[in-house]
Amino acid sequence: MRADARAKRAAVLTAAVDVFTERGVDTALDEVARRAGVGIATLYRHFPTREALITGAYVQQIGVLCDGVEELLGVLPPDEALIIWMQNFVGQVAGRPGMAQALKTVVLATDHDAVALSHAKVYSALEELLNAGVEAGLFRTDVTVDDLAGALSGFSLSVGTPGSQDRANRLIRLLVDGVKVTAGE
């Protein structure tokens, strides 16, 4: 892809994230194109369907989140880093009206390679956080990345109504408390 095309694609993704955050994923795509400073044809050239644009925005945001794991572990103990990372992940969905349902549809219907790559990044980030906690003697050794990913998926699907983000944040803290080594283990 040429540099100018990459720049336009990046502008569309940035605008999509902003518009989806402000107005939800059902917003007219003309607004995304306008914010990106491109024509609607350019938007559709890069993202032929709404689902492709939602997937692109999701993959971009997950990449940013996953790339931040080392930074979190550099300033926080592993248990707090896991809590903050999971809360930020759930916040990616909670801050965008309709995103949880849209992502459920996207995962079933569109770019499976992009979704699989983002899932691999999420699993890698969770594995890094979990291993850091195990190495520090904070986390139980019988907890798996699949356990954390399953809980994260459930938390992400449970947000979207008033107060649900606060509840998800409490549940994440409870989960991480359950992952910790207790006295006598």
Convert the pLDDT of each residue in 168-177 to its tens digit.
Answer: 899 999 999 9
Whether 63 and 35 have beta carbons less than 8 Å apart is answered as no
Residue 139: strand pairing partners: 180
Residue 54 has pLDDT above 70, yes or no: yes
SS3 180: strand
The pTM of this model reads 0.78
CA–CA dist 106, 164 (Å, integer) = 22
End-to-end CA distance of the chain: 54
Domains of the chain: 1-48 (1.10.10.60), 54-179 (1.10.357.10)
From CA 148, how far away is CA 145, in angstroms rounded? 5
9 contacts: CB under 8 Å, gap ≥ 6? 1, 46
Residue 91, number of CB atoms within 10 A of its CB: 16
pLDDT digits (tens, 9 = 90+) for 38-52: 999 999 999 998 888
